Structure 1
Amino acid sequence: MPAADRPRMGLRERKKQETRDALSQAAVRLIVERGWTGVTEEDIAAAANVSARTFRNYFSGKAEAVAARHVDRVRRIAGELRARPAAEPLWEAVTAAVREQFVPEHDIDRWAHGRQQADSVRLMLTEPALQGELAKAHAAAEAELTAAIGERTGTDPVRDLYPKLVAAALGATLSAVITHCLQAEPPLPLGPVLGEAIDRLTSGLPVP
């Protein structure tokens, strides 16, 4: 590819990612506000200022649009992990990469503003139509983390258990934090609790 084409290609890819992010954020926000059945693909597209056809170029449906936020966030964590200094200890790099994506808080952390919002998020996450997409999203996210951890530690994601264990531990930590934050009274923002959870994980989960 000629060098002159690379900036334009990079801009195009960024624009595509921005559209994907806008659609996914709109899907989460509208469904939390209106409920699963109260939102259509057309509603999501309009909220993101694109056409319904554009929505369908990115996602097969609103369930995939919601689940995409998890995959994309973990992909950014994996990318940040790869970019951290090579000499930095693994768990320091992991902690920094995760905190980069959760502090400051993102849109979904609006549940911390009240019980009604938190309950709406919880209801959305239990929607049967969303469960399959969330399972696929979790598997894709864990695979991304496993690959990044393998690269950083010089372990083979296929043959070695270690990168799988670290990725699985991080995935389980995130799930536990989300559940805890949603159930707390009042609901808690993700960022600070996730930081605490990772600190506990890296210290070997000592008994409180």
Structure 2
Amino acid sequence: MGWREQKKAETRATLSWAALQLSVERGFDTIKVEDIARASGVSPRTFNNYFSSKGEAIVARHLDRLLRVAEMLRERPAEPLWDAIAQSLLPQFEPDTAAAALPIPDAAQWAAGVRMMLTEPALQGELLRAGAVAEAEIAAAVAERTGTDLNQDLYPHLVASLVVAATNTVMAHHLRTNSSVPVERLLADALARIAAGLPTP
């Protein structure tokens, strides 16, 4: 990735994180594009160059993570599929520079705010759209790794659906239980259970 592309990626991540943080702290309905732009140090016009709505901006972080999974799957060496998926997915939950620039406040209040924000119909629709886009890309990467036919075989689509579902379920579980266990550890456990065939606990 060249310098210009890297700068664009950083701006996109910063805008998305600012939209998320402001929505959690103030409420989704109360914030405006101008607020997000100001918190990110850019103009509203710059925001509109990246996103069509604040809902799209919030969900962009989740979508970008999942799209990077597909990219990394294509770059992984030959290894068992679920090992490759774990090595591609888990790094996406490491802290990034955009999040570090706008630190998370009190963890319990943050979790409560995220739960409330996720009830917004506009965000639910954006999350569904993002999931569908990510599943398509992950399925294509899985088909390439496994030599299956993306258009004819169920397998790559089933695997992609499981990856996205596991990610969403772990994040929801983390919020629901106020778990002190990091998301990446919960996700590693979920992937291990799937790889083992989801045996009864």
- The superposition leaves residues 36-89 of structure 1 with CA deviations (integer Å, 9 ceiling, x where unpaired) of 12211111111111100000011111001011111111111111111111x211
Residue 126 of structure 1 deviates from its aligned partner by 1.2
Give the unaligned 5+ runs of structure 2.
Answer: none
Tell me, what secondary structure is at the counterpart of 1:206?
Answer: coil
Distance in 2 of aligned mates of 1:18 and 1:41: 18
Distance in 1 of aligned mates of 2:93 and 2:63: 14
Residue 9 of structure 2 is aligned to residue 29 of structure 1: no
Name the counterpart of 1:126. 119
Assess, with a 3 A threshold, how the Cα gap between structure 1 residues 130 and 185 changes in structure 2: closer, same or farther: closer
Name the counterpart of 2:33. 41
Tell me, what secondary structure is at the counterpart of 1:80?
Answer: helix
Residue 165 of structure 1 deviates from its aligned partner by 0.4
Equivalent residue in structure 1 for 2:76, among 77, 84, 88: 84
Name the counterpart of 1:68. 60
**TM-score, normalised on structure 2?**
0.91
**TM-score, normalised on structure 1?**
0.88
Aligned residue identity for 1:191 = E
Equivalent residue in structure 1 for 2:146, among 127, 130, 153: 153
Q: Aligned-pair RMSD on alpha carbons?
A: 2.1
Mapped contact 1:21–1:69 kept (Cα < 8 A): yes
Mapped contact 1:111–1:182 kept (Cα < 8 A): no
Aligned residues: 198
Assess, with a 3 A threshold, how the Cα gap between structure 1 residues 112 and 138 changes in structure 2: closer, same or farther: farther
Tell me, what secondary structure is at the counterpart of 2:7?
Answer: helix
Distance in 2 of aligned mates of 1:122 and 1:158: 37
Distance in 2 of aligned mates of 1:15 and 1:30: 22
Mapped contact 1:112–1:187 kept (Cα < 8 A): no
Equivalent residue in structure 1 for 2:85, among 73, 90, 94: 94
Name the counterpart of 1:3. none
Residue 42 of structure 2 is aligned to residue 50 of structure 1: yes
- The superposition leaves residues 136-195 of structure 1 with CA deviations (integer Å, 9 ceiling, x where unpaired) of 111111111111111111112211111000000111111111111011145643111111
Aligned residue identity for 1:131 = Q
Mapped contact 2:143–2:149 kept (Cα < 8 A): yes
Give the unaligned 5+ runs of structure 1.
Answer: 1-6
Residue 159 of structure 2 is aligned to residue 143 of structure 1: no
Tell me, what secondary structure is at the counterpart of 1:96?
Answer: helix
Mapped contact 2:111–2:178 kept (Cα < 8 A): no
Residue 193 of structure 2 is aligned to residue 200 of structure 1: yes
- The superposition leaves residues 97-150 of structure 1 with CA deviations (integer Å, 9 ceiling, x where unpaired) of 111112458949x88953221111111111012222111111111111111111
Assess, with a 3 A threshold, how the Cα gap between structure 1 residues 32 and 187 changes in structure 2: closer, same or farther: farther
Distance in 1 of aligned mates of 2:190 and 2:104: 19
